[in-house]
């Protein structure tokens, strides 16, 4: 029985749409996804409707088998060396990233993020307790009216650290200060998104303590578009982002591309401090050394827009800056990122604190005992480094409280 031209076109379109959606379940980079979609369209046009249907159905079968294999073998979980990566999600309702909600996990973390970029034996295995609240942020409890909200990237969110060692947890345990952690990796535009969604949900009866990391926070700060079509596209895409095929394939692709830097040996620098190997991330070293750079697009305006809720801004230095004098005693590092931030704080009359000197002093003290304020195999600080920040924040809040009572 012959099939009409219209029916062939409809069936060909259906075959292409099937392949389109199957590819969405793989978490491929946008350029690769677009390329494959176009190539499939050309292929389907050449091989005809029956060939196109055969290819699409084959892709479906392969993907189902792949997903089942990941589940049966346990690879869907074992591929992640840290829960920070495993439970990363995108909140399409609030238009920002975060973690999966209501996670309560006790696990072992075999090494930090820098160990994943080298063959050097620098691993520091550690135990982790990983909790998230109903909004996908690392708190043991949901927001319950705390006056102060901690906003920042992975340093404040606590990447590579166990729950009791996080900043909000140390502030509560050591200083009796109940704060809420509204933190996840990103840049200033992301932090603004966290704050705005928080305001819509919980009102404005809070003050923000904002933490800016020297390594990657002083970049372009433009938020995602809010167009209706863009929102629809992101929501539709979210239907596939929880598939194990999506998460595992994306992770494998990232490791493959990272492998080149590992093979070439230009991802990290390993030095010896207090008789122990310590790794430093080369891109962060380069940032620390830069004397000037183009003003980040949107940065100043985003910071200015946050002024009504900002109580204090804190500058977190890179690991290299903290240990630089032990690595290259004669090197004079510029302070480009801090100078820029401090200048904006003066311009908009914001309180701004640099955590560099306190972290350097504590690091020097701990080195005498073979201990560190940063994980040796990671770009993030450990509980000792977080403790320095907690002490300074607690003191700042108490001083502010005294001043407020005097008014």
Q: Are residues 51 and 133 both part of a single domain? A: no
Is the model's pLDDT at 198 over the cut of 70? yes
16 contacts: CB under 8 Å, gap ≥ 6:
40, 41, 44, 52, 56
Q: Are residues 246 and 309 both part of a single domain? A: no
Q: Look over the chain and give the mean of its residue pLDDT values, rounded to a whole number.
A: 89
Please, which pLDDT band fits residue 382 given cuts at 50, 70 and 90? Answer: very high
pLDDT of residue 79: 78
pTM beyond 0.95: the answer is no
**Using an 8 Å Cβ cutoff, are 218 and 341 in contact?**
yes
Q: Are residues 241 and 213 both part of a single domain? A: no
Tokens of 388: 């320095």
Distance CA 96, CA 192 (A): 10
The residue among 203, 235, 264 that closes a domain is 264
Distance CA 229, CA 235 (A): 10
Residue linked to tokens 């827009």: 305
Please, which pLDDT band fits residue 280 given cuts at 50, 70 and 90? Answer: very high
Is the model's pLDDT at 225 over the cut of 80? no
- The residue-averaged pLDDT of 286-302 equals 91
Please, which pLDDT band fits residue 171 given cuts at 50, 70 and 90? Answer: very high
How do beta strands 207-213 and 148-151 pair?
parallel
Q: Are residues 131 and 152 both part of a single domain? A: yes
Q: Could you give the percent of the chain with pLDDT greater than 90?
A: 65
Is the model's pLDDT at 337 over the cut of 90? yes
Distance CA 96, CA 255 (A): 24
Is the model's pLDDT at 133 over the cut of 80? yes
The residue among 264, 293, 322 that closes a domain is 264
Q: Are residues 258 and 198 both part of a single domain? A: no
- The residue-averaged pLDDT of 340-369 equals 97
- The residue-averaged pLDDT of 30-53 equals 90
Q: Could you give the percent of the chain with pLDDT greater than 70?
A: 91
Tokens of 79: 């591929």
Q: Which domain holds residue 39?
A: 1-73+225-264
H or E stretch covering 274: none
Is the model's pLDDT at 344 over the cut of 70? yes
Tokens of 406: 């005097």
Burial class (CB in 10 A: 0-12, 13-18, 19+), 169: buried
Q: Are residues 114 and 140 both part of a single domain? A: yes
């Amino acid at each position: 029985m012959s099939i009409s031209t219209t029916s062939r076109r409809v069936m060909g379109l259906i075959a292409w749409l099937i392949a389109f959606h199957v590819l969405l379940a793989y978490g491929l980079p946008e350029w690769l996804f677009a390329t494959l979609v176009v190539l499939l369209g050309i292929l389907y046009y050449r091989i005809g409707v029956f060939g196109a249907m055969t290819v699409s159905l084959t892709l479906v079968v392969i993907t189902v088998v792949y997903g089942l294999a990941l589940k049966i073998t346990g690879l869907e979980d074992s591929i992640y060396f840290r829960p920070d990566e495993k439970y990363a999600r995108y909140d399409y309702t609030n238009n920002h990233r975060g973690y999966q909600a209501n996670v309560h996990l006790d696990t072992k973390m075999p090494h930090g993020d820098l160990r994943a970029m080298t063959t050097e034996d620098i691993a520091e295995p550690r135990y982790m307790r990983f909790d998230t609240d109903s909004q996908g942020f690392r708190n043991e409890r949901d927001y319950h009216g705390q006056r102060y909200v901690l906003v920042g990237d992975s340093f404040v969110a606590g990447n590579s650290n166990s729950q009791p060692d996080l900043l909000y947890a140390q502030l509560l345990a050591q200083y009796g200060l109940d704060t809420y952690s509204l933190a996840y990796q990103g840049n200033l535009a992301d932090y603004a998104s966290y704050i705005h969604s928080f305001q819509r949900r919980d009102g404005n009866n809070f003050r923000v303590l904002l933490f800016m990391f020297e390594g990657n926070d002083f970049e372009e700060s433009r938020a995602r578009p809010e167009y209706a079509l863009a929102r629809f596209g992101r929501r539709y895409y979210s239907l596939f982002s929880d598939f194990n095929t999506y998460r595992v394939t994306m992770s494998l692709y990232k490791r493959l591309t990272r492998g080149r830097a590992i093979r070439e040996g230009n991802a990290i620098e390993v030095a010896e401090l207090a008789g122990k190997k310590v790794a430093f991330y080369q891109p962060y070293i380069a940032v620390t050394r830069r004397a000037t750079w183009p003003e980040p697009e949107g940065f100043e305006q985003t910071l200015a827009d946050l002024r009504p809720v900002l109580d204090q801004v804190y500058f977190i230095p890179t690991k290299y800056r903290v240990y630089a004098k032990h690595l290259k005693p004669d090197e004079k590092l510029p302070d480009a990122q801090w100078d820029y931030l401090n200048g904006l704080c003066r311009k908009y009359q914001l309180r701004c604190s640099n955590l560099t000197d306190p972290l350097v002093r504590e690091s020097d003290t701990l080195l005498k005992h073979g201990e560190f304020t940063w994980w040796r195999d990671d770009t993030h600080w450990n509980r000792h480094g977080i403790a320095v920040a907690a002490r300074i924040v607690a003191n700042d809040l108490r001083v502010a409280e005294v001043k407020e009572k005097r008014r």
